[in-house]
Amino acid sequence: MIPPQRRRRYPKQEPEPYIRAEPEPAPPPEDDQQPEGEKKNPERLYVITGPDGARRTELDLVTLIVASADPPPSAAPEQAALLRLCTAPLSVAELSAYLSLPFSVVTVLITELLTAELVTARAPVIRQALADRSLLEAVMHGLQKL
């Protein structure tokens, strides 16, 4: 069995040569040295969804969410942001992207807002597989007149 090796925070630096031909590329950031915007905090996601995070409404990525009220003062910051975004209909996928939260976390937030009747969920508009024949004929005649 090999004993665990400790990694140095700052690797040993070699003495600087007098002339350097080209600059060395910066080392890639380690797991705990990610830029501020890219840090993911799983504990925060647990706090957002709560201990019963498995309770969710069946939502698709394209389900449209519309806010029916302003955010109450007791709302969590993520819920308030979600309500402010939903003044116009937005899909669950768009909300997930705008809030930088995983889809599963957003569905838990939306479920809580649906039970509080602060948002409404609408199925997306499904278009017919084939267009109406009279519409296609009208388009064809208009193109022929050009």
CB-based contact 110:82 (threshold 8 Å)? yes
Model's pTM, two decimal places?
0.54
- Cα 68 to Cα 37, 74, 89, 96, 117: the distances in Å are 31, 16, 11, 19, 8
Give, for all 146 residues of the chain, the pLDDT tens digit: 566 666 666 666 665 555 555 555 555 555 555 455 445 555 566 556 565 545 667 788 889 999 988 888 888 888 889 999 999 999 999 999 998 888 888 888 898 888 888 999 988 777 767 778 888 899 999 999 98
CB-based contact 120:66 (threshold 8 Å)? yes
